[in-house]
Amino acid sequence: MADASTEWAVQTRELRKTYLTRRGRRVAVDGLDLRVPVGGVHGFLGPNGSGKTTTIRMLLGLARADSGRMRIFGRPVPHELPDVVSRVGAIVESPKFFPSFTGAKNLSLLAEAIDVGRARVETVLGQTGLTDRAGDRYKTYSLGMKQRLAIAATLLKEPDLLIFDEPTNGLDPAGIHEIRATMRRLADEGRTVLVSSHILAEVEQVADTVSIIGRGRLLASGTVEAIVGQRTAAVRVGIADPGAARDVLTASGLAVRDDDGHLVVDGEADPARITYLLATHGLYVHELTRVRAGLESVFLDLTREEHLGAQGDVGEEPATTAGVAR
């Protein structure tokens, strides 16, 4: 049970990790403050290389932080990891199963190895929707079923916190849907699911809360609505001469972009001001709509720098500064 003072399943403070590379030190996690509430699905989102896997590996004691603090259910880790590890189930890399054994047999072997009663095998197969295929050999499973078997394995010891690193990687839409449904079910049972992804759409629908990171730093955190709500809406303008309209609006200091023959004015654009500005230049709009930013556009916006930087490896420091960890 979580004690009353533990409102966070996972908490990191000023977490930092650098890797030593041939080109210097690469900053993978750069002062990350992460807070994952107890209960529900928490999406841990960021572009490729933003530090998600490194963070998860540090939480699980698989990599050592340079500095900073981490807690799982209020207990400092890695120091007290042995005390909380039984409450945590994680898939960080593809688990190894025996290809010629059935799903049920693979799970039974694991249950035995971690001293869990055989009865749990039936339960976890049911929880992941694999009961019907439990008697089939692992090698005949689809990718989605293999991933669900991996989730089933993590459930054997009834963890309160599940950590899944990019669980939908390589899955087709049906497989992604199955994993999402499985995560939802686990959260509805009162567990906490921390799921990382670089593809927002894959977790947006299932996540109760999200943290968006870029270059190892927290960029935004909270409910999807709160994050989207903080960003101002845009105004979409339909007009016969978009080129002339763009010049007028840009000259007035507004941020304008093209969107499929329309113009979109980003930021705190007042529709009345747009109409007025254009009309005074003899330009008349035939359509004016307020558009709310979606999480997708907020995500892209927040992480834009990182996408640009990805080509230039901006996370590198000269080889003389921070300490190195393995």
Ligand X SMILES: Nc1ncnc2c1ncn2[C@@H]1O[C@H](COP(=O)(O)OP(=O)(O)OP(=O)(O)O)[C@@H](O)[C@H]1O
Instruction: Provide the binding-site residues for ligand X, judged by CB under 6 A.
Output: 19, 21, 26, 28, 46, 48-54, 198, 315
Closest distance of CB 301 from ligand X, Å: 18
Closest distance of CB 313 from ligand X, Å: 7
Q: Which is nearer to ligand X, 141 or 299 (CB)?
A: 299
Whole-angstrom distance, CA of residue 56 vs CA of residue 300: 23
DSSP letter at 198 equals: S
Other C-beta atoms lying within 10 Å of the C-beta of residue 2: 16
Q: Which of these, 101, 96, 190, 189, lies nearest to 137 by C-alpha position?
A: 101
DSSP letter at 261 equals: T
Q: Which is nearer to ligand X, 198 or 273 (CB)?
A: 198
Closest distance of CB 63 from ligand X, Å: 8
Q: Which is nearer to ligand X, 286 or 326 (CB)?
A: 326
Cβ contact 50:214 at 8 Å: yes
At 3, list the tokens: 């004690």
Closest distance of CB 231 from ligand X, Å: 23
Other C-beta atoms lying within 10 Å of the C-beta of residue 152: 27
Closest distance of CB 93 from ligand X, Å: 11
Integer CA distances (angstroms), 105 to 13, 91, 158, in order: 41, 19, 19
Cβ contact 190:41 at 8 Å: no
Whole-angstrom distance, CA of residue 128 vs CA of residue 189: 13
Q: Which is nearer to ligand X, 199 or 264 (CB)?
A: 199
Question: What strands lie across the sheet with 67-72, from one edge to the other?
Answer: 75-77, 67-72, 8-21, 24-37, 316-317
Closest distance of CB 295 from ligand X, Å: 18
Q: Which is nearer to ligand X, 49 or 175 (CB)?
A: 49
Whole-angstrom distance, CA of residue 310 vs CA of residue 49: 8
Q: Which is nearer to ligand X, 26 or 185 (CB)?
A: 26
Closest distance of CB 205 from ligand X, Å: 19
Phi, psi (rounded to 5 degrees) for 160: -85, -25
At 318, list the tokens: 């000269």
Q: Which is nearer to ligand X, 48 or 223 (CB)?
A: 48
